[in-house]
Amino acid sequence: MPRFIIHHVTKYTYPEAVRDSANQIMLYPISDIFQELISQQLVITGYPNIERYKDYYGNDVGTFMYLEAHNELLIDSKIEVITKTRLMPVIDPTTIEKQWENLGEIKYQGPFIDFLKQENFDKLHELKKITDPELAAGISVFEAAEKLNEYVYQNFQYIKGVTNVESTLDEIWKLKAGVCQ
């Protein structure tokens, strides 16, 4: 079973001292039948107390306050996980049309709206050239997602610093680069 050690560092620097810094972190890996969390070390400047809760989607979220004046805030997370084999789903070809209909039916429901809501995207016509032929070929939602992931893997570069949480789809599409936000 593959063992991974993941080291994530977030560093904020400020030109002048700040205080009463309120922060949210999402650095807690899933631990389930497919992934076992072996260890986690989380070190934050000032060693604040971290309050954890589960968000709407079931993710572990941490919040903390750093009250002292500071010019830099460092969040350093080291985790070790073991991943376990997960079989790919077997798709029943008779359900493919219903899968696509179901996406249309749930796209405005609370738990799914963030994932199925279409953002403004000037290059949507380019994306449709990639995705529409697959839909016409009668593949499942899962297979379409795999094909889109494959396209991104083959045509985009992982480059730190060229995108951030404010980057738009248009900026990312133009660069064909960035990191997951």
Residue-wise pLDDT tens digits, 163-176: 888 888 889 899 99
**pLDDT tens-place string over residues 122-156:** 988 888 887 776 666 788 888 888 888 898 999 99
- Tell me the CATH number of domain 3-83, given options 2.40.220.10, 2.60.120.260, 1.10.10.10, 2.60.40.2250: 2.60.40.2250
**Residue 6 backbone phi and psi in degrees, to 5:** -115, 125
Q: Where are the alpha helices (DSSP H) in 75-156?
A: 96-106, 110-116, 124-136, 141-155
Task: Give the separation between CA 135 and CA 152, rounded to whole angstroms.
Answer: 17
**pLDDT tens-place string over residues 45-68:** 999 999 999 998 889 999 999 999
CATH 2.60.40.2250, the chain: domain bounds? 3-83
pLDDT at position 103 is 86
**pLDDT tens-place string over residues 13-37:** 999 999 999 999 999 999 999 999 9
Task: Give residues with Cβ within 8 angstroms of 16, minimum separation 6.
Answer: 71
